[in-house]
Structure 1
Amino acid sequence: MGTDISGFIEYREPQADQQPIWHAANDLNSLCEEGGYDAFGCLFGVRNYANFRPLAACRGLPAGISTTVSARLAQLSEWYGEDGLHSTTWITWAEVKAADWDELAERPDSRLHEYRRFSNEFRMTGKASWNPEFAEAVGLERGECREWPEGSEWLIGDTLYRSVTMRRREAVTESGEWQPVWETMRALAAQHGDDNVRLVVWFDD
């Protein structure tokens, strides 16, 4: 069963003699259709197979959510029930800007990275926590998974299996699916300030 992300970008404006009010700006799904598990783990600690230190995991809902976000969550709770949504959290544009995108994950990826030989070079074709061809070659039981030291590699036929520690920028790439989200948040922050723009997200399986 797969995991999907939903959410909204919010911004707030000061009100005379009142607490600043948060407004919904963009539905996340209109900007980022899938997101990718490596990004989920890097940013929010969900499906964190790559073993990143998440930037903003399990914070729950922020204070003063917009009426749009509140209404959407109420609607989804009716559809999915109390246990249908999980890992609700949020992150400000200031935090996204401050992130060290060259930071390495805390441990090697739980999935071995797979490379296939094309002509005279190897190109990455995927990654998996368990592969029957690899398991047979190294003597693993069916379904048995191990963490291998960084840089360990095995050439089996035309496939190279390698243990890799990922960097944040490899999980959330400069030209990838999250760039429309960052561009939107950056534009709003130019008007309202970095701490006054945030992304509120939740997940469902």
Structure 2
Amino acid sequence: MGTDINGFVECRCDHRLDDDGEPFWHAVADLEHLLRDHQDHDAFRCLFGVRGRGPGEPPAERRGLPGDVSDRTRAEYGELGGHSASWITWAELEAVDWDGPLPAPDPHVHVYRRTPGGEWERAGRGSEGTRFAEVAGLDARAALLPGLSFPVGTEWRDGDLLFRVEPLTRRLLVREENWGTAWAVMRSLAERHGGDLVRLVVWFT
């Protein structure tokens, strides 16, 4: 059974004040409209320590709802319920080492294709069909996750194709194709208001 993510991008800015004249956090965008995959378990583990933990230390593991969470977020959380609430600012996301190797290999094989100029160009991650299994001399099950059986740097060549076991990184776990829109919204808000005044507040159901 899958786990769904819920939440909002929130922002605090000086020109929106409460009755006491203080700036407050308000919900800017619902994650429902920003993510393609709301059951992205690899990202949940990597960022929030949900659906397992690691590899590596999650930068925002189950912090709970912020005490000054926006009214809209609090109301939605109260209505939907959920668990493992947390939050992370854009400043913290920018400080994450997205490309540093994590203390585990990537279980999926990386695929490269030779360009007309003779360079190897990334063509994907993970093997489709039976070709990699044939080239590597593996049964179909072992070919699905070769990083669990072979050390980082192991390569198999097949003409203009190259298959390689590579380190696991946070960028591989938190896929741009799923999170890119959310990051773009947060980045734009941070350019105007500052990275510490833009955050992602989430919980899971």
TM-score (norm 2): 0.69
Q: Provide the residue aligned with 1:142 in structure 2.
A: none
Superposition map of 1:25-174 within 5 A: 25-34=28-37, 36-48=40-52, 51-77=55-81, 85-109=82-106, 111=107, 113=109, 126=126, 133=139, 150=152, 164-174=166-176
Q: SS in structure 2 opposite 1:104?
A: coil
- Any conservation in 2 of the 1:108–1:148 contact (CA below 8 Å)? no
Deviations 1:75-107 (A, max 9, x none): 112xxxxxxx22211000111112221122122
Residue 23, structure 1, aligned to residue 20, structure 2: no
Distance in structure 2 (CA, Å) of the matches to 1:87 and 1:126: 30
CA, structure 1 residues 26+136, in 2 after alignment: closer, same or farther (shift >3 Å)?
closer
> For residues 148-180 of structure 1, what are the alpha-carbon distances to aligned partners after superposition, in whole Å with 9 as ceiling and x for unaligned?
7545789xxxxxx98653112222344x11111
Give the distance between the partners of 1:88 and 1:147, measured in 2 at CA. 35
Cα separation, partners in 2 of 1:185 and 1:136, compared to 1, 3 Å? closer
Q: Which residue pairs with 2:189 in the alignment?
A: 188
Spell out structure 1 runs of 4+ moving beyond 6 A.
134-137
Counterpart residue number, 1:13: 13
Partner SS state of residue 97, structure 2 = coil
Q: Once superposed, what is the RMSD of the aligned Cα atoms? A: 3.9
Matched to 2:202, the amino acid is: V
Report the AA paired with residue 165 of structure 1. Answer: P
Per the alignment, do residues 92 and 136 of structure 1 end up closer, same or farther by CA in structure 2, a change over 3 Å counting? closer
Q: Percent identity?
A: 45
Go from structure 1 to structure 2 and tell me whether the alpha carbon gap of 1:134 and 1:50 turns closer, same or farther (over 3 Å shift). farther
Separation in structure 1 between the aligned mates of residue 102 and residue 61 of structure 2, nearest angstrom: 15
Q: Counterparts of 1:106 and 1:136 in 2: how far apart (Å)?
A: 21
Aligned partners of 2:142 and 2:100: how far apart in 1?
34
Task: Give the counterpart letter for 2:188 in structure 1.
Answer: A
For structure 1, list consecutive stretches of 5 or more residues without a partner in the other structure: 78-84, 116-122, 128-132, 138-145, 155-160
Q: How many residues align?
A: 183
| TM superposition score normalised by structure 1 | 0.69
What displacement does 1:57 show? 1.1
| Pair 199,52 (structure 1): closer, same or farther in 2 beyond 3 Å | same
Paired residues of 2:8 and 2:31 also in contact (CA < 8 A): yes
Structure 1 residues 194 and 114, CA gap change in structure 2 (3 angstroms)? closer
